[in-house]
Amino acid sequence: MGELKVTTNPKVDAVFANYPYFVKEKMQQLRELVIETAEEIEEISHIEETLKWGEPSFITKKGSTLRMDWKEKTPNQYAIYFQCSSRLVTTFRLVFGTKFEYEGNRAILFQTNQKIPKNALKECIKATLTYHNVKHLITLGI
């Protein structure tokens, strides 16, 4: 594996700094999990951390945009979002079933008091960051 280059828009750090104390660490762990997963994928040499719709987002050359956020209107949950027109969430439901809570075809939801199934989530992140390379596979390489 080569060295992963992470480019971060400074506004992303401001969003993380403004999350309430009870969810800030959870969001930071999710952020670190995305970067850790990207580091483990040989074909990814660069990941861009930016804002899309005001939400922390990750973009790779061969992937689909991955976003994450916490919303004040649902204070006990946070989410990781996927392009709803992709096969990502549909495939995650097929492969992981009830291991995750889903919101339509666009998100995996987490409760602030739950333990995240890290290995399964890393598979979802990997499929997202490499989506254009795996979208022809039945289960996206999972």
Spans of all domains in the chain: 5-131
Share the mean pLDDT of the chain: 96
| 28 pLDDT tier (thresholds 50, 70, 90) | very high
Please report the pLDDT score of residue 104 as a whole number. 96
Predicted structure pTM score: 0.95
Residue 2 · residue 39 · CB < 8 Å: no
Please report the pLDDT score of residue 2 as a whole number. 61
Please report the pLDDT score of residue 119 as a whole number. 97
For domain 5-131, the question of CATH label 3.90.1150.200 is answered with: yes
Q: Where are the alpha helices (DSSP H) in 7-140?
A: 10-17, 21-39, 88-96, 118-129, 131-134
Region 50-79 average pLDDT: 97
Say which residue, 1 or 45, is predicted with more confidence.
Answer: 45
Say yes or no to pLDDT of 94 above 60. Answer: yes
55-59/46-52 β-pairing: antiparallel
